């Protein structure tokens, strides 16, 4: 798709190249017995730690993804270093506690958002444009997944979230998936200028449906996953409607469509 641009493609390939070169040199020296290195330094938990450090350094450790990777790496590495001290059985309790603390701290920061973002769960009837209540006895309950929100805030944990945005002044937002998935439909929405959508997901996936003439800039860090634009070819990309997708995806992908 010509209006899909990966803004960090060149730098990402360079970093991956240096990482592969370094790993290859270390493996060669170890094979030749030129120096001794513990075997656990070449295990997959070390890879998780290195990836977490890289993502954290790149994003200033402002997101939970690098901490999750580093923590998982150390937990699985502990059994290799000290067989009698296995922390792997504590993974789920620590993960739940960590996620709870993160959401508590995150909710405090969200209070400073604009009034529009506080009405993220407001529902409308697309035929009349009027707000409706989420009352199962109401005829308007079928529109429960449509919203006029300007700022998106979607969180999915062990589940799925579907949203259809109809705002004509969409300003972006944030999607968080932890062992879950999200589907965002922006076909009825409109943007002006450059809008940022941040996606953080671990073992999850995101599907974004947007008009074919929007320009996409990708600044994602994808580990064991990727971002793919499957939209139909547009005759001309709009330089006035640019959606910037940034964030971190670990063991998950982002699927962009126009249908």
Give the contacts of 219 (CB within 8 A, at least 6 positions apart).
6, 7, 8, 244, 245, 246
Q: pTM score, two decimals?
A: 0.59
Q: How much is the pLDDT for 185?
A: 93
> Helix, strand, or coil here: 82?
coil
Cα–Cα separations (whole angstroms), residue 249 to 3, 114, 219: 22, 27, 11
Query: What span, in angstroms and rounded, lies between the C-alpha atoms of 210 and 208?
Result: 6
Chain segment 89-140, per-residue pLDDT in tens: 777 777 777 777 766 766 655 554 444 444 434 444 444 445 545 444 344 3
Q: How many residues does the chain have?
A: 259
Q: What count of Cα atoms within 13 Å lies in the side-chain half-sphere of residue 109?
A: 8
Q: How much is the pLDDT for 26?
A: 72
User: If you search the block for the tokens 């062992």, which residue do you land on?
Assistant: 179
Q: How much is the pLDDT for 22?
A: 73
Regions of the chain where pLDDT drops below 70: 1-19, 34-37, 59, 63-64, 86-88, 102-103, 105-148, 233-238
The burial class, CB within 10 Å (0-12 / 13-18 / 19+), for 133 is exposed
Q: How much is the pLDDT for 258?
A: 84
Q: What count of Cα atoms within 13 Å lies in the side-chain half-sphere of residue 157?
A: 7
């Amino acid at each position: 798709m010509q209006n899909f641009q990966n803004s960090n493609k060149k730098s990402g390939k360079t970093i991956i190249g240096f990482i592969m070169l370094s790993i290859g040199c270390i493996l060669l020296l170890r094979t030749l017995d030129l120096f001794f290195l513990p075997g656990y330094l070449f295990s997959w938990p070390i890879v998780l730690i290195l990836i977490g450090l890289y993502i954290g350094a790149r994003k200033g450790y402002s997101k939970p993804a690098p901490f999750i990777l580093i923590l998982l790496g150390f937990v699985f590495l502990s059994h290799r270093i000290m067989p009698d001290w296995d922390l792997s059985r504590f993974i789920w309790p620590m993960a739940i506690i960590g996620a709870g603390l993160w959401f508590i701290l995150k909710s405090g920061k969200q209070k400073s958002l604009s009034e529009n973002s506080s009405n993220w769960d407001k529902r409308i009837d697309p035929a009349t444009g009027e707000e409706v209540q989420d009352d199962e006895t109401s005829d308007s309950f079928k529109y429960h997944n449509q919203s006029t929100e300007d700022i998106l805030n979607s969180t999915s944990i062990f589940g799925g979230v579907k949203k259809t945005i109809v705002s004509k002044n969409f300003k972006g937002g944030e999607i968080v998936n932890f062992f879950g998935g999200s589907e965002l439909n922006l076909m009825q929405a409109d943007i002006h200028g450059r809008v940022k959508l941040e996606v953080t997901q671990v073992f999850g996936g995101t599907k974004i449906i947007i008009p074919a003439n929007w320009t996409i800039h990708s600044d994602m860090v994808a580990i064991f996953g990727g971002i793919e634009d499957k939209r139909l070819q547009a005759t001309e990309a709009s330089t006035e409607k640019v959606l910037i997708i940034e964030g971190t995806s670990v063991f998950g992908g982002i699927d962009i469509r126009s249908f």
